Amino acid sequence: MRRTSKERLAEKIACFGNFGADERGGITRLSLSPAALDACAEFRRRCVDLGLAVRCDDMGNIYAVKQGAEDLPGPAMGSHADSVVNGGNYDGMLGVLAALEVLETMVGDGISTRRPVSAVIWTNEEGVRFPPAMMSSGVLTGKFDKSAVLAVRDSDGVSFGEALSAGGRQGDRAARLSPATCTAYLELHIEQGPVLDESGESVGVVQGVVGMCNYTISVFGQAGHAGSTPMSRRRDALYAAAGIIRRLHDELGRIEGGPVFTCGHIECRPNMHTIIPEEVSFSLDARHRDPDVMRRVVGVIAALPREPDGCRVEYREEWSRKTTLFDPALAAVVKRNADALGYANRFMFSGPGHDAQYVQDMLPAAMIFVPSIGGRSHCPDENTSLDDCRNGADVLLNAVLELADAQ
């Protein structure tokens, strides 16, 4: 079995952690921002130094290719370089650096393969500056209309298309990842949850991404002065919404199979301490791999009381996605190599979405998770031990080499 270099990987993680380091101890590297462009430029420079061909497609995705002995399609690996606001140093970037370390190991150890091996950086996975998330892999796989996403504007009024051009990232459509050039896609990513950290396993063999739904639940009451409206006359939208949030948690928590669910966003109008809330809206995000469980989640929402506490309740599905199942044969390759390396591992599903779930629609795809200490992510103390980073990179290296020599 081959091994990557712990020292080189440590240097990469430290170096790329400078791109977008913010004053709050975290990483703020929004897509196509100067920090993100600098990080991609550093990736490109390092790949060129390794003698690799580097290209950019029309969605700004960057590819570094190590040629194989034969002119055949080959495996690709990668992740994204953008972050959320005040996020951590591992989400996305670790997968990019592990792919870079794999290529550097192949070059350094003089490993040649039958098929080419590629590393890819996906543009705008987080979707924070330009919604939606996973924008560029979504366009490549037909999820989103290219002209529509090019027109999406950030809070400063800059469109995604303008940001691509300004960043010199509007490349060649012919460079896109496709079945013509690629046989399989592997993405290494932090788990963003506590499962591996608590089990003490180094590697998660990801079989798929759970289905999810996202609803907005709105409660309509009546405004009134806090000092002069008798309690018996009130239709307080926040009081009613609080009851619905508690009821949702309690009832969703009783669903067999255990979906995860979150009310993470709430808006209150007029949101003044002297005015009875007139309208409160909040989000419900629920996820599970089993469609039957998701149907029961929707059933709980549909069964919400429509007129609690004198208020009126409406709900609206904002969007949903079905469970994505990764290629079982490819996941088996990952599992086999993790076992061969002697790294404790388990099959698991991803709760968060990843570019790999879109790629799966056109290519065999799978993911490699590494532990998130304390399950923390999207925050400055997001962290993964260097040993786990290296172990994940080793699994990626050996899996990719197996795929690159496949008949």
Q: Give me the residues that bind a second copy (CB under 8 A), please.
A: 191-195, 210, 212, 214, 223-231, 233, 236, 238-239, 241-243, 245-246, 249, 253, 258, 260-266, 268, 271-277, 282-283, 285, 287, 350-353, 375-379
CB of residue 195 to a second copy, shortest distance in Å: 7
Give 58 or 126: the residue with its C-beta nearer to a second copy: 126
Closest to a second copy by CB, 165 vs 229, is 229
In angstroms, the CA 219 to CA 240 distance is 7
CB of 311 to a second copy, least distance (A): 13
Structure tokens that stand for 242 in this block: 């609080």
Helix (H) or strand (E) holding 65, with range, is: strand 62-66
CB of 92 or CB of 353, closer to a second copy: 353
Closer of 232 and 407 to a second copy (Cβ):
232
Q: Angle at CA 241, nearest 5°, toward 277 and 297?
A: 155
Is the Cβ of residue 5 or residue 320 nearer to a second copy in the bound state?
320
Pairing of strands 62-66, 324-325: unpaired
Q: How far is the CB of 162 from a second copy (least distance, A)?
A: 25
- Residue 296 Cβ vs a second copy, minimum distance, rounded to whole Å: 15
Let me know: does 9 contact 101? Beta carbons within 8 Å.
yes
350's CB contacts (< 8 A; 6+ apart) are 189, 191, 206, 208, 209, 210, 357, 367, 369
Burial of 327 (0-12, 13-18, 19+ CB in 10 A): middle
Residue placing its CB nearer to a second copy in the complex, 111 or 379: 379
For the four alpha carbons of 364, 147, 86 and 36, in that order, the dihedral sign comes to positive
Q: How far is the CB of 105 from a second copy (least distance, A)?
A: 29
Q: End-to-end distance of the chain based on CA atoms, in angstroms? A: 20
CB 225 to a second copy: min, Å? 5
| SS3 readout for 303-347 | CCCCCHHHCEEEEEEEEEECCEECCHHHHHHHHHHHHHHCCCEEE
**What DSSP string describes 121-188?**
EES-SS-SSSSSTTHHHHHHTTSS-HHHHHT-B-TTS-BHHHHHHHTT----GGGS--TTTEEEEEEE
Minimum CB–partner distance for residue 114 and a second copy (Å):
37
Q: Which is nearer to a second copy, 228 or 407 (CB)?
A: 228
Rounded (10°) angle between helices 93-108 and 6-16: 140
Closest to a second copy by CB, 172 or 267: 267
Minimum separation from the CB atom of position 287 to a second copy (A): 5
Q: With beta carbons less than 8 A apart as the criterion, state whether 395 and 341 touch.
A: yes
Residue closer to a second copy by CB (options 60, 211) is 211
| Least distance in angstroms from the C-beta of 118 to a second copy | 28
- Residue 225 is classified by DSSP as B
What stretches of 17-111 show up as alpha helix (H) in DSSP? Answer: 34-49, 93-108
